[in-house]
Structure 1
Amino acid sequence: MSGKRPAAQLHPRNRHQGRYDFDQLCSSHPGLKQFVKLSPRGQKTIDFANPDAVICLNQALLKHYYNVQHWSIPQGYLCPPIPGRADYIHYAADLLGSLNLGRKAVRVLDIGTGANLIYPIIGSQTYNWQFVASDIDPVSVESARAIVSSNKNLSGNIQVVQQNDKNSLFRNIIQASDQFALTLCNPPFHASKKDAEAGTQRKWKNLKSSSTKRGRNTIKPDKKALNFGGQANELWCEGGEIRFLKDMVRESASFSKQVFWFTTLVSKKDNIAPLRKLLTEVGACQVKVKQMSQGQKVSHMLTWSFMTVDEFRG
């Protein structure tokens, strides 16, 4: 694949190392063939500015690596880059090593799973985790449930639930009898629609620059590809990422004995320090930060716990 991130920057267990093998992917999902072309350097690639091509690539990746035969998302919803999403799952799995759960079922909660359901798919098929996946958007919930019901290997491992309270993340989802080893979240990081649109323009500029450097300038923005997919609740919220995550930290304290590791992605490094301070204030006894790099993008996984291992094992 032209422009694929170096393998060394992905987690060692990430199956998406190196260039995409388009011959294998097309064998698994023949529909991808129509989008594959040669770059000026003679390498097989697709037009990553074409939303249809990117969705088809994801379908091929999910079939080839995760045995997901039926996957689609509503038009205009977020289409995730699977290699980077897989990295979060693998680093989260590293966290669970200290728990020594053995054959005990690992239950995971995905906050804001989206219409694409990508984290529960990767986590259930790679580590056999049992998922509760929540979202506040009814269309996302309907789409995620359709993905589960269309794939037998997902139906026994993933439960999709609707969050009806816009001011809650864990409340209404974590029930009194629930115990989770892990929570996941990829929060909206823009503070407004204007910020999200500015981010879109930067992405288009980067894609155009990259295409020009390869000797081809064919990138043209269109409304269909705005934000590379993504609804308002997927891309921005009032107060931005820091407001969202502060709310998450405060609410997590109410479920301190039902979850061992709370985790979230943090896209803005400057948000780490105030979140660490708040975690100390709410009584977290363990706080860790892991830097993850995919290509030129650097993000951080923030993790915290209110329990010791012995308390969790109970």
Structure 2
Amino acid sequence: MVPTVSLPQLLHPRNLHQGRYDFAKLTATEPQLAAFVRTNPAGEPTIDFTDPAAVLMLNKALLAKYYQVKYWQLPDGYLCPPIPGRADYVHYLADLLARSYPALPERKQVQLLDIGTGANVIYPIIAAQSYGWQVTGSDIDNVALKAAALIVTANAVLKPRINIVAQPDAEAIFSGVIASGQRFHLTMCNPPFFASQAEAEAAGNRKWTNLGKAEQGGRRNFAGRQHELWCEGGELKFVSRMITQSQLFKQQVCWFSSLVSQQKHLAPLQKLLRSVGVVQSEVIEMRQGQKVSRILAWSFLTAAQQQHWCQAKPSAD
């Protein structure tokens, strides 16, 4: 029932961030990045990826150069994501939709829902600028919502394509966000991976130790607030809740999806998918360097139903 797409060795072919960062071009786009660029032992330009300020400035340069986003600021302590890996998720979702409906008449009709868009609004930016999709980003955090809305309104290229909405119920995922009669071709989510703050901090400490910087344990170069990194029951419980609640919107969404960081969670999640009557599902594996992540996608529609579904223009209300 759940095929596994073969594991790619590199970023998705359409990912704009192949190979090493071109720091000459990036600093030309964002001159403030130059203050963080240094030379590594091989004589190549790089930044200190353990420095949150350097990572933030690199992201600003990448967004300006590749996605025409001129304003991008985050509140202190909020997640500053690695952009190349985020882009892969979007591109693999585009492939998933293309397999379901290769002749979609107008790509700009595609409606995407990003669950937990965060203050960084990265997924909507990449989707809107790479494919021209209409994207709704939802979140439960008022500070994140204000920051995301400011990024959208401050960038003319984003304003017509991205809508930021509040999820009023912390226990709900789709209810309160998807209106009656509203339809989405795709949903996506980068769920909180950890079950507790202690688990998140232990993972961070292991990373710093592996980098030879154990004294920085407890710090995260990509930051992140509690609801962005951990929740009760962690990833397994969150994605399980998402699957269960997706039944209520089985006719309004063509493909639901979520990242799944741990291989061991796939089996129980696949079992749950079968129990709720999912008709199609896929596991799409992605690799960025040594990191392997997975997209779990599911649909309550058959392939024939999806083609018929995609022929109708979704409501944007």
TM-score over 0.5 (shorter chain)? yes
Which one of 197, 201, 213 corresponds to residue 193 of structure 1? 197
**Partner SS, residue 184 of structure 1:** strand
Matches within 5 A, 1:18-57: 18-57=19-58
**Partner SS, residue 154 of structure 1:** coil
Which one of 155, 180, 200 corresponds to residue 176 of structure 1? 180
CA separation of 1:273/1:184 partners in 2, compared to 1, >3 Å: closer, same or farther?
Answer: same
Matches within 5 A, 1:57-76: 57-76=58-77
**Partner SS, residue 207 of structure 2:** helix
User: What's the counterpart of residue 216 of structure 2?
Assistant: 221
User: What's the counterpart of residue 135 of structure 1?
Assistant: 139
User: What's the counterpart of residue 306 of structure 2?
Assistant: 309
Distance in 2, Cα, partners of 1:253 & 1:232: 27
The structural deviation recorded for 1:65 is 0.3
User: What's the counterpart of residue 102 of structure 1?
Assistant: 105
Distance in 2, Cα, partners of 1:47 & 1:227: 10
Distance in 2, Cα, partners of 1:18 & 1:55: 20
User: What's the counterpart of residue 80 of structure 1?
Assistant: 81
Letter in 2 for 1:103: E
CA RMSD of aligned residues (A): 1.5
| Runs of 4+ more than 6 Å apart | none
In 2, are the aligned partners of 1:266 and 1:299 still within 8 Å (CA)?
yes
User: What's the counterpart of residue 146 of structure 1?
Assistant: 150
Distance in 2, Cα, partners of 1:220 & 1:28: 34
Distance in 1, Cα, partners of 2:31 & 2:179: 43
User: What's the counterpart of residue 233 of structure 2?
Assistant: 239
Long gaps (5+) in structure 1: 1-6, 209-217
The structural deviation recorded for 1:226 is 3.6
Distance in 2, Cα, partners of 1:168 & 1:16: 34
Long gaps (5+) in structure 2: 1-7, 313-317
Superposed CA offset, 1:176-196 (max 9, x none)? 121100001000010001001
In 2, are the aligned partners of 1:242 and 1:271 still within 8 Å (CA)?
yes
Superposed CA offset, 1:143-176 (max 9, x none)? 1001001100000000001111011000000001
In 2, are the aligned partners of 1:78 and 1:115 still within 8 Å (CA)?
yes
Distance in 2, Cα, partners of 1:204 & 1:152: 39
- Determine what percentage of the aligned residue pairs are the same residue: 51
In 1, are the aligned partners of 2:205 and 2:217 still within 8 Å (CA)?
no
In 2, are the aligned partners of 1:197 and 1:227 still within 8 Å (CA)?
no
Give the TM-score of the pair, scaled to structure 1.
0.92
Distance in 1, Cα, partners of 2:80 & 2:207: 14
1:126 lines up with 2:130 in the alignment: yes
Letter in 1 for 2:268: P
In 2, are the aligned partners of 1:184 and 1:262 still within 8 Å (CA)?
yes
Q: How many residues align?
A: 298
**Partner SS, residue 302 of structure 1:** strand
Distance in 2, Cα, partners of 1:275 & 1:153: 38
The structural deviation recorded for 1:41 is 1.1
The structural deviation recorded for 1:219 is 7.7
